[in-house]
Structure 1
Amino acid sequence: MEALIERSAFIGLDGRAWFYGGAESPPPSVMLEAVAAYVRNRANGPLGRIQNGEVEQACRDNLAALLEGRPEQIALMSSASEAISMIAASCRFGQGDNVVVHDLEFPSGVLPWLHLKSSGVEVRVVANRGWRVTAEDLLAAVDANTRIVVTSHVSYMSGVRIDYRSLYRELSKTKTLLLVDATQSLGVVPVSVNDADFVVASSYKWLMAGHGGGVLAVNPRRTELFEPRYVGWRSVEDMFSDTRFEHFRFYRDARRFETGYPSYPTLYAMKASTDLLLSVGIGRIAAHVLELGGRLIRDMKRIGFEPMTPEQPEWRAGNISFVCPDGERLADELQRQGTYVWGGDGRLRASIHLYNNSDDVAKLVSQLAVLADRSAS
């Protein structure tokens, strides 16, 4: 099975098998020209600001297309963590209110809510069952005092894909909001802002751009009156109005969550990388990673590794995790052999994207078979 794009389109893939995209993607070659274009435009002074704005809008358009939304629903942040923290700080909690999370969630999706416990907010943690969390599991923890449910679309830990669409169908009948972290899915499987109240993502993993960028997509269906607790000059409709020392008006769209300039080098890179993703097509990318992931799970089971990620395609995306008490050591060994995976927390994780192929899978499995035999002897 061939990669969906020539490996020469990336820097760092020569002679390497890159299964590290859940942490860092290999940089697309177009990133070099994109960042260089930012520097050149910066030298154009006032014209450069216009050029930055054009790239920013094009990037916003691409992200909206990936999220099945509209450009005005997209806020450009510094990170997914910033976006989650902003939402947490902006929720109007009362005494006895609660937040529902689960134990397969990345720390950035948990910490902002734990910080609110001192204010009387209860944080309910739903336990996984066999490395899975279902929409029904999360709904069982929701009551009349639940203000928001927070879940990743795809778990960084087990690779399980959570059915947030079914979750939102039920939550939309209540006053409970839904925040979905699509950091481990946006760019590799379909994601829709129409099936959540907020969707956040990072720029440097599956979106294949640089660090310093975060995405916040806002569904106005139930959040039209949701206002951030902090504000900057980019948040307001007219920062230089005659009454600017008396009052202000937030933008009505997602721009109200932006406080200052974004990281333009990152936006230039993300515009280029999302051009690439959209040209290939998320449907094709999803089919590719699901087929390769299924092959990897079957081959790894054959050599004795227990998968944490379900084999059923509807339950997974690009992250494939395996129970592995010495995962960190094996990841270090594989790195020395030119194969990049993530190891730690009692697991080994291989992340499959459009640049991976059957040879990568065969290389990883054969290397691990040798390492496993060596450990057994």
Structure 2
Amino acid sequence: MRTAFGEKFDVPACYLNTASVGVPTTTTANAVAAAVGRWAAGLDEPPVFDEPVRAARQGFADLIGVPVERVASGASVSQLVASIAAGVPDGTRVLVAEGEFTSVSFPFAAQAGRGVTVTAAPLAELPHRAPDFDLVAVAVAQSADGAVVDLDGLRASGTRVLLDVSQSLGWLPTRLDWADWVVGAAYKWLLAVRGGAWLSVRPEAADWTLPVAANWYAGDNPWTTVYDLPLRLAPDARAYSLAPVWLAQVGAAVALPWLAGLDLDAVRAHNVGLADALLAELGLPPRGSAIVAIAGEGVEQALAEAGVRCAMRAGKARLSFHLYSDASDLDRVVTALTSAKGRITESI
């Protein structure tokens, strides 16, 4: 058991795989377990979950700095991005990063029959090339290696921007009210249950956002839109919501407001401090990200033998540092990689 930022985590030593699956606080885990217990005893009714859905939406809104009326609740990033991909005009030119996570790029590529084109470019080139496109869709921190996009450059480009914060929200403090769309998943850095995701829609971007999954819970009043026509969707971003995955929302209702209440500058300093310290130990330059990607002969085996929990992505060992990571984790990784240090070829 570890204690960090005022909460307890039942996390194993050297768990550096938050970029794949975040470990919840014991408070979040207990809330979900209690909900499972109520389910097993037949004690709940569907309206009971309206409050967790509301609290989770508010938590996401607070984390990205937007009014809650802009936020829709869904189940996955790709499902929410599809609302945008289906809503863009025929012939829209979309720019993405090379190696972008496909939940961001595939929904647009699937619109090729309408003349929508998707072009991939190096991450660093996106702000410069953005004015030649109608929309930029990109993860704030790249899944494979944690590289962070130039947000100021994108904002200044004048092109519509969709940001995926699944690998950044929870450790990188950013106010994103300027972005046309912001989407993120619950189960990584937000330390909640898979099955929750959120989409923020700037009012000026609603013309390119289509409620392709229109359903009763997207209604103006969900408990009066369960039957019959006409279509009567919510007047705000809830029109793009899915009916909730109940247990996922219970966890998110605890995790997201708690994270939003933390000093996220301190969280960033903690996470990035450990990641950059690892790079320094390996003789590599700092990158300012909570995610480190290490390539080299024998790296995967050395980390596995040392009991380091991480992931292999794009041929590199991806290590991700979060609230519950500490100096002992860093020491173990450094020791594990000592024998492979001479064969480490890159960190990006």
Query: Which interval holds the TM-score relative to the shorter structure?
Result: 0.7 to 0.9
- Cα distance in 2 for partners of 1:191, 1:42 equals 37
How many residues matched? 342
Q: Which of residues 81, 85, 89 is equivalent to 2:86?
A: 89
Matched, 1:268 2:250: yes
Q: Deviations over 1:2-56 (max 9, x none)?
A: 97447x822232xx20111111122322233211332355579797444322222
What does the per-residue CA deviation read over 1:319-362, in whole Å, with 9 as the maximum and x for residues that have no partner?
111233665x43xx523432112224221211111111122111
Aligned to 1:76: 73
Runs of 5+ in structure 2 lacking a partner?
none
1:251 paired residue among 222, 234, 251: 234
Counterpart for residue 10 of structure 2: 11
Residue 317 of structure 2 is matched in structure 1 by 348
Shift of 1:296: 1.0
Deviation track 1:282-310 (CA, whole Å, cap 9, x = no partner) reads 12101111222221111122xxxxx5xx6
How far apart in 2 are the matches of 1:259 and 1:373? Answer: 50
SS at match of 2:177: helix
Question: Is 2:194 the counterpart of 1:211?
Answer: yes
CA contact (8 A) 1:288 1:354 kept: yes
Percent identical: 25
| Cα 1:259/1:204, change in 2 over 3 Å | closer
> How many angstroms does 1:224 deviate by?
6.2
Conserved? CA contact 1:164–1:196, under 8 Å: no
Distance of 1:3 and 1:318 partners within structure 2: 19
1:360 paired residue number: 329
Aligned with residue 300 of structure 1, among 242, 257, 282: 282
TM-score, normalised via structure 1 length: 0.81
2:291 aligned residue: 319
- Distance change in 2, residues 1:177/1:20 (3 Å): same
**Residue 181 of structure 1, CA deviation:** 0.5
Letter in 1 for 2:10: I
Shift of 1:222: 3.5
SS, match of residue 160 in structure 1: coil
Deviation at 1:238, TM superposition (A): 5.2
Partners of 1:44 and 1:56 lie apart in 2 by 22
How many angstroms apart in 2 are the aligned matches of 1:325 and 1:228?
A: 48
Aligned to 2:185: 202
For residues 294 and 116 of structure 2, the distance between their equivalents in structure 1, rounded to whole angstroms, comes to 35
Q: Name the counterpart of 1:304.
A: none
Does structure 1 residue 117 correspond to structure 2 residue 112? yes
Correspondence for 2:126:
137
Aligned residue identity for 2:182: V
TM-score normalised per structure 2: 0.87
The match for 2:93 is: 98
**Cα pair distance change 1:45/1:56, threshold 3 Å:** farther
Query: Which runs of no fewer than 5 residues in structure 1 stay unpaired?
Result: 302-306
